[in-house]
Amino acid sequence: MKIKLTYYGVVSEIIGAEEEWMEVESNLAVDSLCDMLEKRWSKLESVQYKVAINHSVSNMASVLEENDDVTILPPFSGG
């Protein structure tokens, strides 16, 4: 199945892109996706990023579905 990945900030700098479509296996959980990304770009392991699915921050056990919009959010702070 295909998912759309969007990257921001330092994550985008590490990946070298702002977005891409990726073919992944069905019923893939967010934690497995993160493992895949960290194997592909080892520098991601040092970044504490969050994952949003269809504009909602998800937990690592969430399962992805066809055409999900997955956003990898870099660390951020507010004041």
Q: What pTM does this model have?
A: 0.90
Work out the number of other CB atoms within 10 angstroms of the CB of residue 51.
20
Instruction: Answer whether residue 79 shows pLDDT above 80.
Output: no
Confidence at residue 18, expressed as pLDDT on a 0 to 100 scale: 97
Q: Where are the domains of the chain?
A: 2-73
**Domain 2-73 architecture:** Roll (3.10)
Secondary structure E strands in the chain: 2-7, 19-23, 50-53, 56-57, 69-73
Rounded average pLDDT over 48-66: 96
Confidence at residue 4, expressed as pLDDT on a 0 to 100 scale: 98
